[in-house]
């Protein structure tokens, strides 16, 4: 049992303690090396607030100890060979249906539009598609507020359209995974409607109700509680006011969720991306959140649900009763989860999830999504070295830089247009040559960038709009808009840029969200016919990945670890050796000494044998 008299190094040896301390250090821009200092490591954990100049208090220590003491297991390093699986070799492509392709001119993407572009996805070299939610929804959060799990949203088409899509995907030798949203439903879902109208029925306990709200805040701003007049109680919503959290402690509810998932698996879907799946277990009694943690994180109560007490039990139950019988692939979205907790969720002998999406690499230390700053690729290098060297062979990492919830990565690194092409390729090399399963978000293969939104009226994202309203209470509207613009999810949600025509070939009607004129310079048609395009680079690199088994399964050996702006590593197995060399800077960088080999792929023709060009990335096969 860990106590306040336990040493910091003892807490750090615990997987939960390690991840929480690492997150605090990241937030405060303090190096992990500090913990490895014998003097600091031997201090008692009760001295940590003083060490951090009282930015955290004793209440934080209590939370840290409580969470750490819930987890006794540690995933041991497995140096044996990596077990083979189709999803470890696959390259996934995320489609955001509302913005991918419109087939009927109403300005909203749909299933028939996706079907019409499957050959394009196959041409890129994709093995499986992740489809963001297409279920019936009132669209408060663009489909992540589900009204009916077994019905298709009218704007997207019909169930017959979905069945056709699934057949067409499989006919092309690709897989399809659905977005599974089971932490919450829409307040228009029949379960919720019956929970408030029939509180004594079995549905009355399907959601989380309290007589009085606690201090938890919503991730989308404001209180996490809605007053429900029919029950004279408050209902929990961690996200928008129309996304009501399900009560996973209710066994009947879990059984209904299991049946719904089986229904989709019987249709033939190949697996699921599980939305905020680590939030499904809340601390019993829904206690107040820590004031000190809330102030640091800007969110109250998260310590009571980001790694809840029954999370592992619920996931094992899902695996045993639903996923395993269908050999379904699963990747969980897990905000707030660090590397050690990720291992506990994905280690193969634990039978929970196949992979998770962790987000610690998307922002540099001390920053969060709505900060306007330039992303330093040296942090990405440091993060990837840590991940590759410490994740182990019994766990498999996901690799991604973009999705529907984050701005475009090129814009975060360097918005100067002269570097757009090379940055797009640089990110492709990192994504597709490290060990892990790559996920490409629609338009990333073109090098799409953030949109030039002019006013708050251009935005549609509920998170962005809520934040803007909150910010304008304490700052002027222009400053508030600028801050929202730095991290708005809408940057990734504008229409796919297919051609240099009105509305970028996405639709014949006005799109549901504005788009600037970038499609005139960046579009599919132009890139298909340009040998030097980002698309063609992705296509070649995906093909290269499939040709070299060392990429999904081989060792990763890093060199030049301490050399700033130079990212170099070997991919090695018993059959071959590849060498990857990347300049992380917009300036020329002296080339590392190369062993004798053959250059397989580069952003450039060989301009100089002594210097890497700005942001250049190249791959060599070593003799």
pLDDT band at 297 (very low <50, low <70, confident <90, very high): confident
pLDDT (0 to 100) of residue 311 = 97
275, 340, 363, 490: the catalytic one is 275
Model pLDDT for residues 54-63, shown as the tens digit of each residue: 777 888 899 8
What are the start-end ranges of the E strands in 120-232? 128-131, 135-136, 148-152, 175-180, 184-186, 209-210, 225-228
Pairing of strands 148-152, 135-136: antiparallel
The pLDDT of residue 606 is above 70: no
Lookup: tokens for 272:
């699921």
pLDDT band at 605 (very low <50, low <70, confident <90, very high): low
The pLDDT of residue 11 is above 70: yes
Which own/partner contact pairs does 587-593 have at CB distance under 8 Å and 24+ positions apart?
587/614, 588/612, 588/613, 588/614, 589/565, 592/559, 592/560, 592/563, 592/566, 592/568
Model pLDDT for residues 100-131, shown as the tens digit of each residue: 999 999 999 999 999 999 999 999 999 999 99
The pLDDT of residue 608 is above 80: no
- Determine the straight-line distance between the first and last CA of the chain, rounded to whole angstroms: 53
Model pLDDT for residues 17-61, shown as the tens digit of each residue: 999 988 888 877 777 777 788 888 898 998 888 877 777 788 889
- What is each CA distance from 429 to 419, 447, 537, in whole angstroms? 15, 13, 9
- What is each CA distance from 315 to 144, 243, 350, in whole angstroms? 20, 22, 10
The pLDDT of residue 414 is above 80: yes
Q: How far apart are CA 180 and CA 206, in angstroms?
A: 18
Q: How far apart are CA 57 and CA 216, in angstroms?
A: 19
Residue with tokens 């690199």: 541
Lookup: tokens for 125:
């070299």
Would residue 154 show up in a list of annotated catalytic residues for this protein? Answer: no
19, 110, 187, 333: the catalytic one is 333
Q: Which residues contact 270 (CB under 8 A, 6 or more apart)?
A: 128, 175, 176, 177, 328, 329
Four-point Cα dihedral 445, 512, 107, 448, nearest 10: -10
Q: Which one, of 609, 537, 540, 601, lies nearest residue 571 by Cα?
A: 601
**Mean of the per-residue pLDDT values for the chain?**
94
pLDDT band at 592 (very low <50, low <70, confident <90, very high): confident
- What DSSP element (H or E) covers 259? helix 251-267
pLDDT (0 to 100) of residue 609 = 58
Which segment of 65-74, 197-206, 252-261, 352-361 scores lowest on mean pLDDT?
Answer: 65-74
231, HSE (Cβ side, Cα atoms, 13 Å):
25
> How much is the average pLDDT of 198-208?
97
The pLDDT of residue 85 is above 70: yes
Q: What is the pTM of this model?
A: 0.95
> How much is the average pLDDT of 73-93?
88
Q: Which residues contact 429 (CB under 8 A, 6 or more apart)?
A: 541, 580, 582, 601, 617, 618, 619
- CB–CB of 437/128 below 8 Å? no
Would residue 547 show up in a list of annotated catalytic residues for this protein? Answer: no
The pLDDT of residue 500 is above 70: yes
The DSSP call for residue 622 is E
Q: How far apart are CA 512 and CA 146, in angstroms?
A: 20
Q: Which one, of 360, 433, 416, 342, lies nearest residue 618 by Cα?
A: 433
pLDDT band at 604 (very low <50, low <70, confident <90, very high): low
pLDDT band at 388 (very low <50, low <70, confident <90, very high): very high
Q: Which one, of 441, 356, 345, lies nearest residue 398 by Cα?
A: 356
Model pLDDT for residues 252-277, shown as the tens digit of each residue: 999 999 999 999 999 999 999 999 99
SS3 state of residue 575: coil
């Amino acid at each position: 049992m860990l106590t306040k008299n336990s040493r910091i190094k003892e807490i750090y040896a615990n997987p939960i303690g390690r991840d929480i301390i690492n997150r605090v250090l990241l937030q405060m821009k303090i190096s992990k090396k500090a913990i490895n200092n014998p003097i600091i490591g031997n201090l008692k954990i009760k001295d940590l607030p003083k060490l951090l100049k009282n930015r955290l208090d004793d209440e934080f220590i209590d939370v840290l100890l409580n969470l750490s003491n819930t987890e006794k297991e540690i995933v041991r390093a497995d140096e044996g060979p990596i077990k083979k699986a189709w999803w470890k070799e696959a390259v996934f492509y995320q489609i955001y249906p509302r913005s991918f392709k419109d087939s009927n001119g109403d300005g909203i993407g749909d299933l028939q539009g996706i079907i019409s572009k499957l050959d394009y996805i196959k041409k890129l070299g994709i093995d499986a598609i992740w489809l963001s939610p297409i279920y019936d929804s009132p669209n408060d959060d663009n489909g992540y507020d589900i009204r009916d799990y077994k019905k298709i949203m009218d704007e997207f088409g019909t169930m017959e359209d979905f069945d056709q899509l699934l057949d067409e995907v499989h006919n092309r030798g690709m897989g399809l995974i659905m977005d599974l949203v089971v932490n919450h439903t829409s307040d228009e879902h029949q379960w919720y409607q019956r929970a408030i109208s029939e509180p004594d029925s079995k549905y009355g306990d399907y959601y989380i109700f309290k007589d009085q709200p606690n201090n938890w805040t919503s991730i989308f701003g404001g209180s996490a509680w809605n007053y429900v007049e029919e029950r004279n109680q408050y209902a929990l919503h961690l996200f928008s006011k129309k996304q009501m959290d399900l009560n996973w402690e209710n066994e009947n509810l879990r059984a209904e969720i299991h049946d719904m998932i089986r229904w989709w698996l019987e249709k033939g879907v190949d697996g699921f991306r599980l939305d905020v799946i680590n939030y499904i277990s809340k601390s019993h009694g829904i206690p107040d959140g820590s004031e000190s943690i809330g102030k640091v994180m800007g969110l109250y109560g998260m310590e009571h649900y980001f790694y809840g007490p029954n999370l592992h039990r619920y996931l094992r139950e899902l695996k045993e009763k639903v996923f395993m019988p269908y050999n379904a692939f699963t990747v969980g979205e897990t905000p707030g989860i660090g590397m050690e907790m990720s291992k506990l969720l994905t280690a193969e002998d634990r039978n929970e999830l196949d992979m998770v999406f962790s987000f610690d690499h998307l922002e540099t230390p001390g920053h969060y999504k709505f900060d306007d700053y330039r992303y330093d690729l040296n942090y990405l290098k440091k993060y990837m070295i840590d991940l590759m060297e410490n994740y182990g062979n019994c766990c498999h990492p996901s690799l991604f830089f973009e999705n529907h919830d984050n701005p475009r990565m090129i814009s975060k690194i360097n918005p100067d247009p002269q570097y757009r092409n090379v940055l797009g390729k640089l990110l492709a090399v990192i994504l597709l040559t490290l060990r892990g399963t790559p996920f490409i978000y629609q338009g990333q293969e073109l090098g799409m960038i953030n949109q030039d939104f002019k006013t708050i009226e251009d935005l549609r994202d509920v998170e962005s709009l809520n934040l803007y309203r909150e910010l304008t209470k304490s700052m002027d509207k222009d400053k508030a808009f600028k801050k929202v613009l730095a991290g708005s999810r809408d940057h990734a949600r504008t229409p796919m840029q297919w051609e240099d025509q009105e509305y970028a070939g996405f639709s014949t009607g006005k799109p549901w969200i504005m788009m600037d004129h970038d499609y005139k310079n960046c579009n599919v048609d132009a890139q298909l016919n340009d040998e030097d395009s980002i698309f063609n680079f992705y296509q070649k690199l995906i093909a290269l990945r499939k040709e070299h088994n060392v990429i999904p399964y081989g060792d990763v050996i890093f060199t030049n670890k301490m050399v700033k702006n130079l990212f170099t590593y070997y991919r090695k197995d018993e059959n071959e050796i590849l060498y990857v060399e990347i300049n992380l800077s917009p300036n020329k960088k002296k080339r590392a000494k190369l062993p004798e080999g053959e250059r397989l792929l580069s952003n450039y023709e060989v301009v100089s044998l002594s210097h890497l060009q700005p942001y250049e990335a190249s791959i060599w096969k070593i003799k």
